[in-house]
Amino acid sequence: MTRSLAVRQDVTLTPDPRRVIIKLFVPGEDAAVVRTRARALIDRVARLGDEETGRLLRDTFDRFGARHRDLAGTFHHHYDLVRHRAARARDLSPTSRLLVGAYFSHEYAVEAAALCNPSMVAHPDQTELGAGQLRVAVSLRQVGEGHVSSIGFATAVLGPGRQIAVADRAGPLAVGQRVGVRHRRDLLVAGLAEEDCDNEVAATVLDALPEWYDEATFERVLANLPPDLLSRSTGLGTLELLRRTNAGSYATAFPADTALHQRVLWPATPAESNGMEDARFVRFVDDSGPVFRATYTAYDGRSIATRALVSSDLRRFEMTPMRGPGARNKGIALFPRTVGGRHLALCRSDGETIGLTTLDGDNRWQAPAPLHAPGESWELIQVGNCGSPIETDSGWLVLTHGVGPMRRYAIGALLLDLHRPERVVAHLPGVLLAPDENDRDGYVPNVVYSCGALVHDGELWVPYGASDARVGFATVSVSALLSAMVQAPPPGDRE
């Protein structure tokens, strides 16, 4: 194994336990035997005197008000979620209602356990920069109590040269709020196909839906189903499946006055309930202009599912499922543009080989063509990508990760043909970046891992997670990296 080519920069991001959000807390629902204690708690709060109620509420605002945006609004919302448990909800004073909301709330430190797996894209705001500088948005996998992952952000300025300055991440966090979204009929069709659902109820609904539709249209179509179809043995089950599949697509948005580092993409569907993992962001450009796209892994505690998101400004995000055989495992990375009219992505559908998958006309990612299998000693367990391919004059530069003895993760590189990305033209014979003595200890030891790099002024900037304990940054000259690569043998000569 050759010495790592990349040079580590003296800047790191570490987990900050002060970065907290407010979650709903219902006593009893987190116990081994689920039995809500909500009604008894509300009754106890209602029996408090006015003076004690006011004092408790003032004390709560004094303790927590500066740590959160609109604490009163959050307490109101949590009260609304449990007020059906109150015996005399109408008799509660506004102060008592806020206090009930406070008792049904708790802080959650989004990155108290780990901070890792970053990706980096050009920031939508490039104002007030000097010569040779680029502002970047860094996505982060944040892990808190219970190993629940969410997506957070940081902002940094690169350059001139190999300088990097990461902006302070202080201030109250905001969780995105659900907003209306236009659903795609082809995604619903693809989702039902994966569930092998093809009956008259599903066919009638699909026939009645337009290519794009909103929630009101969807519910109206379901409400107008003929009773003789609903009375069939598959009727109710199909309705449940239709709603569950449709709910996989949603949108979330943040207030305009929140800074990027204050925004938290928090799990919002059952499929994501235990985490949104390893977001791979890329700035995608086509005839309609640039947008930010990403893929991530949704985890419900038992199974995984691949998801895509799109955003024009990193303030409003639309999430959709990814369908098809090419999307059946972790680690999908989108190309930053179409190639020969095709939407392409790197994937690892078999769990150990980097493949290339194509999006078909039915919005399904097709069975991948293999690109790179485990071969070197440092990658014999499995290989995968470390983010979206980066376009260079020489070809598509792909950062890879490989897993070796003692489950040690290192980063390597491939080069794909610019016009025929299914062809590997070169590879780095050793590693680009491997764990050193400062990287090896952490929440997940012996790991360096990235979800996306970028090129600025001829330098490849690689943000990486170090054993899930911190996020570091490394650089390497693109020309030096390409020069260190060796030509791949023709396809017919490979074993």
Cα 21 to Cα 247: distance, rounded to the nearest angstrom:
24
What does the mean pLDDT of the chain come to? 93
Helix (H, G, I), strand (E, B) or coil at 463: strand
Residue 411 CB coordination number (10 Å):
26
Share of the chain above pLDDT 90, in %: 86
- Alpha carbon of 56 to those of 48, 52, 94, 226: distances in Å? 10, 6, 14, 55
Helix (H, G, I), strand (E, B) or coil at 60: helix
Which helix (DSSP H) or strand (DSSP E) does residue 482 occupy? Answer: helix 478-484
Rounded mean pLDDT of 53-66?
97
- 82 and 41 within one domain: yes
- 80 and 37 within one domain: yes
- 200 and 54 within one domain: no
Contact 134, 158 (CB under 8 A): yes
Residue 175 clears pLDDT 90, i.e. is over it = yes
Of 342, 359, 264, nearest to 306 by C-alpha is 359
pLDDT band for position 415 (cuts 50, 70, 90)? very high
**Tens of pLDDT, residues 101-152:** 999 999 999 999 999 999 999 999 999 999 999 999 999 999 999 999 999 9
Q: Residue 367 is part of a domain; what is its CATH number?
A: 2.115.10.20
Amino acid of residue 360: D
Cα 435 to Cα 440: distance, rounded to the nearest angstrom:
6
- 279 and 359 within one domain: yes
- 129 and 58 within one domain: no
**Tens of pLDDT, residues 226-247:** 999 988 888 999 999 999 999 9
- 117 and 105 within one domain: no
Of 109, 137, 153, at which residue does a domain stop?
Answer: 109
Rounded mean pLDDT of 19-29?
89
Does the N-terminal peptide bond of residue 489 adopt cis geometry, omega within 30 degrees of 0?
no
Of 76, 109, 142, at which residue does a domain stop?
Answer: 109
Task: Report CA 474 to chain centroid distance, whole Å.
Answer: 22
Of 229, 246, 263, at which residue does a domain stop?
Answer: 246
What is the extent of the structural domain holding 293?
A: 7-16+110-177+249-493
Measured between its terminal Cα atoms, the distance across the chain in Å is 21
**Tens of pLDDT, residues 275-311:** 999 999 999 998 888 999 999 999 999 999 999 999 9
- 253 and 211 within one domain: no
Contacts of 99 (CB under 8 A, 6+ apart): 45, 48, 53, 56, 57, 60, 75
- Write out the E strands in 207-358: 212-213, 250-253, 263-264, 275-286, 289-299, 304-311, 316-321, 333-334, 344-347, 354-358
Of 23, 11, 17, nearest to 118 by C-alpha is 11
- Alpha carbon of 337 to those of 130, 233, 423: distances in Å? 28, 46, 17
Cα 118 to Cα 116: distance, rounded to the nearest angstrom:
6
Contacts of 33 (CB under 8 A, 6+ apart): none
- 68 and 127 within one domain: no
Please tell me the predicted confidence (pLDDT) of residue 37.
83
**Tens of pLDDT, residues 343-363:** 999 999 888 999 999 999 989
- 233 and 381 within one domain: no
Amino acid of residue 125: D
Eight-state DSSP code of residue 231? T
- 202 and 62 within one domain: no
Overall domain count for the chain: 3
Structure tokens at 131: 């010569």
- 234 and 299 within one domain: no
